[in-house]
């Protein structure tokens, strides 16, 4: 029918004026819709025709009183009696739409009967005017031309018979004229009918389309909303099991689906249900046994969505009792790149529930589920990693604490050893020094060169030992925090030149130059002069020891005015042209007993190049400087005995000691 009306001129005009794609509207559906529209007119038309019959009966009985009046009135009343219940009925119940044409033919037939009766009985051709009106009026009665043609045929036949009726003929001359007008009316009726049906079809199609689009829009909106809701859940729920369950429930409820399942692949080749939701799902889940043979297996094998419009006709469908009632199914793969994670299974109790055009949108939902799986996987990995890390940190901390405790014990043992041994050594040393001095003072010994040399050796050795013991005592005091300072104003130029005096011989022996810059602008500082002497003694003796013969040692000083919380301070720098210190040990050298290089290889002279020491000098220096609220540090490009890059030791001391 659609195709036929389109071929008419009006059809073409309307097609252009109201463009509609009608591919998906079946002619059957369209016909049913047209019949429905027409049947809607039934109460009005049957009612108004019934009223017309009643009026006609009244007018005929009271005013016209033509020949055959009782018969006209009877037929009119019977017609009205038949039509009124039809009007009543059609208003209350919806009559089957396929009855529309016979019912309208029935109404038209009643009207035609009355008219022909009058035509025949009055035998006047002018009655033809009624039939002409009738022909035009019935153009709006039918939805198919067949019925219209039929009725026009009956009308024309009836009228033609009336022309030959024995009573007719008085005006036989006008017969031809009326015949032409009747034919014209019939043709007009056909044209009107076609135009009306064309317009009605078009409007109905537009209504269809509009409804379809509205539904599609609603579905899209819902899909987008679902997608957004899933997205929101993905970002807010990290517990994978809960997330998948909520996503399954959300999809199932939004799309009113029979069943929604999320199936995951677990190594090596097992498929497990991760979450499911359904209309009639048993409380403890469907208990599905999923195999690689069914539709899910097909989706996993192909990596492509599987859309089955009618499950009964799919050989791969494996029905399951707890999911009975599923008619169509859409299985979407969950995959990242090439890796298959599982599938999202949607089942509907309706046939054809998933349109091909919707598959990409459903795939979008599946991709969101994939993203959730990925998120959860990453989250779990991070969580696991964190747990491992925490465990490692705990283990390491424990190990460090143990090591620390061991070191503390060791350090204490060292300090105890230093304290005890230095105290124990002191008394015999004093005796040794005293008697060696006596030897030196003895005239007999002085007279003999060899004796004098031996006595000198003993005395120097004793003095050296005394020095070492003194250092050990200093370190012990620093370690036990019992170093006592007696701060007083100290003139640094004076202090440093007195120390220089002590090294005169050593410098000369090693051909070293010690230059002390102009320290006179430096302010007097508050410090323990004796302790400070030790600091610079150790720094200078080190500079001498670690600088090859012929090198230079320079002492400089500068004043630092107070900045922020730092008080006024002075900084003394002792630079040498010696072997240098590697950056990685520049802090370690301040630890007690720390020595770089092989201790066995040290020479024994106090001031000889790389002369041996106990590794206590810098520890004592730092202890004293720190006790003065100062700072001591070393700088050197590195250790290199060939090129001798040199070292710089900085001592920064506050001008005033805090109260």
Residues forming the site for ligand ADP (CB under 6 A): 538, 542-543, 546, 576, 578-579, 581, 589, 594-597, 613-619, 647
CA distance 168 to 181: 18
Classified as helix, coil or strand, 78 is: helix
CB of 653 to ligand ADP, least distance (A): 19
- The DSSP result for 481-510, as a single string, is T------EEE-HHHHHHHHHHHTHHHHHHH
Buried b / exposed e across 489-519, counting CB within 10 Å, b at 16+?
ebebbebbeebbeebeebbeebebebebeeb
Q: Which residue is nearest to ligand ADP (CB)?
A: 613
What the block records as the tokens of 147 is 């019925």
CB of 447 to ligand ADP, least distance (A): 38
CA torsion 23-29-31-36 (nearest 10°) is -140
Cβ distance to ligand ADP smaller for residue 162 or 636: 636
Indicate the helix (H) or strand (E) that contains 572.
strand 569-576
Cβ distance to ligand ADP smaller for residue 437 or 607: 607
CB of 595 to ligand ADP, least distance (A): 4
CB of 605 to ligand ADP, least distance (A): 12
Cβ distance to ligand ADP smaller for residue 595 or 626: 595
Q: Among 654, 633, 617, 465, which Cα is nearest to 536's? A: 617
Cβ distance to ligand ADP smaller for residue 202 or 545: 545
CB of 467 to ligand ADP, least distance (A): 11
CB of 523 to ligand ADP, least distance (A): 27
Look up residue 171 and give its DSSP letter.
T
Buried b / exposed e across 448-469, counting CB within 10 Å, b at 16+?
eeeebeebeebbeebeebbebb
CA distance 175 to 160: 9
Cβ distance to ligand ADP smaller for residue 262 or 574: 574
State how beta strands 525-527 and 569-576 pair. Answer: unpaired
Cβ distance to ligand ADP smaller for residue 140 or 468: 468
Q: Among 118, 119, 89, 115, which Cα is nearest to 103's? A: 89
Cβ distance to ligand ADP smaller for residue 122 or 596: 596
Buried b / exposed e across 584-613, counting CB within 10 Å, b at 16+?
ebeeebbebeebeeeeeebeeebbbbbbbb
The answer to whether 627 and 485 have CB atoms below 8 angstroms apart is yes
CB of 610 to ligand ADP, least distance (A): 8
CB of 489 to ligand ADP, least distance (A): 28
Classified as helix, coil or strand, 9 is: helix
CB of 470 to ligand ADP, least distance (A): 13
CA distance 497 to 512: 16
Q: What sign for the dihedral angle of Cα 106, 111, 114, 117?
A: negative
The HSE-up count of residue 340 (CA atoms within 13 Å, CB side) is: 24
Look up residue 628 and give its DSSP letter.
T
Cβ distance to ligand ADP smaller for residue 6 or 596: 596
CB of 597 to ligand ADP, least distance (A): 6
CB of 601 to ligand ADP, least distance (A): 11
Residues 6+ apart with CB under 8 A from 258: 278, 279, 280, 323, 325, 326, 327, 347, 348, 349
Cβ distance to ligand ADP smaller for residue 329 or 506: 506
CB of 497 to ligand ADP, least distance (A): 20
CB of 619 to ligand ADP, least distance (A): 6
Cβ distance to ligand ADP smaller for residue 316 or 640: 640
CB of 405 to ligand ADP, least distance (A): 26
The answer to whether 110 and 82 have CB atoms below 8 angstroms apart is yes
Cβ distance to ligand ADP smaller for residue 14 or 472: 472
Cβ distance to ligand ADP smaller for residue 313 or 600: 600
451-454 LR contacts (CB < 8 Å, sep 24+): none
Other CB atoms within a 10 A radius of the CB of residue 473 amount to 17
Cβ distance to ligand ADP smaller for residue 123 or 581: 581
The answer to whether 512 and 653 have CB atoms below 8 angstroms apart is no
Cβ distance to ligand ADP smaller for residue 362 or 546: 546
Look up residue 27 and give its DSSP letter.
H
């Amino acid at each position: 029918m659609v195709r036929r009306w389109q071929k008419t001129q009006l059809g073409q005009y309307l097609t252009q004026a109201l463009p509609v794609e009608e591919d998906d509207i079946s002619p059957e559906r369209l016909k049913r819709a047209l019949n429905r529209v027409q049947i809607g007119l039934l109460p009005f038309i049957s009612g108004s025709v019934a009223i017309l019959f009643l009026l006609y009966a009244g007018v005929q009985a009271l005013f016209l009183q033509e020949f055959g009046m009782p018969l006209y009135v009877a037929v009119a009343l019977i017609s009205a009696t038949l039509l009124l219940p039809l009007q009543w009925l059609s208003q209350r119940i919806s009559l089957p739409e396929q009855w529309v044409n016979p019912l309208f033919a029935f109404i038209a037939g009643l009207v035609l009967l009355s008219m022909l009766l009058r035509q025949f009985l009055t035998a006047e051709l002018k009655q033809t005017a009624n039939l002409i009106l009738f022909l035009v009026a019935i153009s709006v009665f039918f939805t198919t031309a067949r019925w219209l043609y039929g009725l026009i045929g009956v009308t024309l036949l009836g009228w033609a018979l009336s022309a030959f009726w024995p009573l007719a003929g008085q005006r036989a001359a006008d017969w031809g004229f009326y015949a032409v007008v009747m034919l014209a009316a019939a043709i007009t009726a056909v044209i009107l009918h076609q135009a009306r049906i064309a317009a009605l079809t078009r409007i109905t199609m537009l209504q269809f389309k509009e409804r379809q689009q509205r539904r599609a829009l609603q579905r899209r909106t819902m899909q987008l909303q679902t997608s957004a809701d899933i997205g929101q859940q993905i970002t807010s729920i990290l517990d994978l099991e809960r997330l998948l369950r909520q996503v399954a429930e959300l999809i199932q409820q939004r799309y009113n689906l029979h069943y929604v399942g999320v199936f995951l692949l677990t190594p090596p080749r097992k498929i497990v249900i991760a979450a499911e939701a359904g209309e009639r799902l048993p409380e403890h889940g469907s208990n599905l046994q999923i195999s690689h043979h069914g539709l899910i297996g097909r989706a996993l094998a192909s990596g492509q969505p599987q859309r089955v419009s009618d499950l009964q006709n799919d050989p791969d469908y494996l029905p399951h009792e707890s999911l009975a009632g599923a008619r169509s199914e859409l299985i979407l793969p969950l995959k990242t790149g090439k890796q298959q994670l599982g599938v999202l299974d949607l089942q509907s109790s309706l046939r054809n529930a998933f349109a091909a055009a919707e598959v990409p949108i459903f795939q979008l939902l599946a991709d969101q589920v994939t993203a959730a799986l990925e998120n959860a996987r990453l989250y779990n990995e991070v969580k696991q990693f964190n747990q491992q890390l925490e465990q490692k940190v705990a283990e390491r901390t424990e190990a460090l604490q143990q090591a620390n405790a061991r070191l503390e014990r060791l350090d204490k043992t060292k300090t105890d050893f230093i304290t005890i041994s230095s105290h124990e050594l002191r008394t015999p040393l004093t005796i040794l020094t005293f008697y060696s001095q006596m030897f030196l003072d003895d005239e007999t010994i002085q007279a003999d060169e060899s004796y004098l040399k031996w006595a000198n050796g003993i005395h120097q050795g004793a003095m050296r030992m005394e020095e070492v013991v003194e250092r050990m005592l200093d370190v012990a005091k620093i370690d036990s925090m019992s170093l006592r300072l007696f701060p007083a104003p100290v003139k640094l130029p004076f202090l440093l030149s007195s120390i220089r005096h002590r090294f005169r011989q050593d410098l000369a022996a090693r051909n070293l130059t010690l230059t002390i810059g102009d320290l006179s602008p430096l302010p007097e500082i508050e410090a323990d002069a004796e302790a400070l002497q030790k600091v610079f003694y150790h720094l200078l003796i080190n500079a001498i020891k670690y600088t090859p013969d012929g090198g230079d040692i320079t002492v400089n000083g500068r004043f630092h005015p107070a900045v922020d919380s730092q008080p006024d301070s002075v900084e003394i720098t002792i630079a040498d042209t010696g072997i240098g210190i590697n950056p990685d040990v520049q802090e370690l050298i301040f630890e007690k007993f720390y020595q770089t290089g092989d201790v066995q290889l040290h020479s024994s002279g106090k001031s000889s190049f790389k002369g041996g020491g106990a590794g206590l000098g810098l520890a004592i220096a730092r202890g004293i400087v720190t006790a003065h609220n100062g700072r001591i540090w070393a700088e050197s490009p590195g250790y290199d005995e060939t090129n001798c890059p040199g070292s710089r030791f900085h001592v920064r001391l506050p001008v005033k000691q805090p109260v």
